[in-house]
Amino acid sequence: MEMYQYAIAIIGGFFAGVVNTLAGNGSAITLTILTEVLGLPPNMANGTNRIGVVAQTSASSYGFYQGGKLDLRDNWVFYIPTIIGALIGVFIAINVSNEQFKDFFSYMMVVMLFVILIRPKRWLAETDISKRPSLFITVPLFFLLGIYGGFIQMGMGVFFLAVTVLIARFSLIESNAMKSLIIAIYTIFVLAIFHYQGFVNWQIGGIIAIGQTAGGYLTARFASNSPSANVWAHR
């Protein structure tokens, strides 16, 4: 790697950590760096990207926990189906071609745009358990989220927030805290499977992870302590 590639990887990783912690879709940054700047094949980039995801979500979870925004005792009913789904999703990922993965990556960029921009003020709602739907609705949705996250991390945060904020009626910051911990847990297993299949470049992934970890932790601390955190996440 050239020096400018190191710089792009670390700086891009930092901004991805910020975006992932406040909202989601930071993997659009890191996957683009991995494929277009560092030249990794799409499937290798998908696996390598999970190194930074584990580091950043772990750091973010710790930051949210320090800030009192992450309650480890609640919401486990949502964690389990997501983790199971992720294990299914990663096996789909290792069996698709590089061309299929790249096509899917491109299409999902467009889908993300519509999910975010349609009535964006919806994201500013506060937690309202009185309007929370039945577990028969939310649990299958979290299972599907897991399949998607195991397959391709890009956009997982946006879809996760769409389910938790718009359907399950959590606030944006509470959803982000829960999102960080769930993704950290299942990505450990996903990364192990990608590594076993030979789809992880630890050197490159570790460099990007430096920036992602810093961005994730600092942003989680900001989000936990700033009264304007929801507004910044919305932006």
Helix (H) or strand (E) holding 11: helix 3-22
Cβ atoms of 58 and 217 within 8 Å: the answer is no
Q: How far apart are CA 227 and CA 18, in angstroms?
A: 17
Q: CB 125: neighbour CB atoms within 10 A?
A: 15
Q: How far apart are CA 165 and CA 158, in angstroms?
A: 10
Which has the closest alpha carbon to 26: 167, 208, 181?
208
Positive or negative, the CA dihedral 95, 9, 117, 138 is: positive
In tens digits, the chain (235 residues) has pLDDT values of: 788 898 999 999 999 999 888 777 788 899 999 999 999 998 899 899 999 999 999 999 898 888 888 777 777 888 899 999 999 999 988 888 877 777 777 777 777 677 666 666 655 555 555 666 777 888 899 999 999 888 888 778 888 888 888 788 787 788 888 888 999 999 999 999 999 999 999 999 999 999 999 999 998 888 887 777 667 776 7
Q: What is the CA radius of gyration of the chain?
A: 17
Residue 125, CA atoms < 13 Å, CB-side half-sphere: 20
Q: How far apart are CA 38 and CA 21, in angstroms?
A: 24
Which has the closest alpha carbon to 13: 47, 55, 43?
55
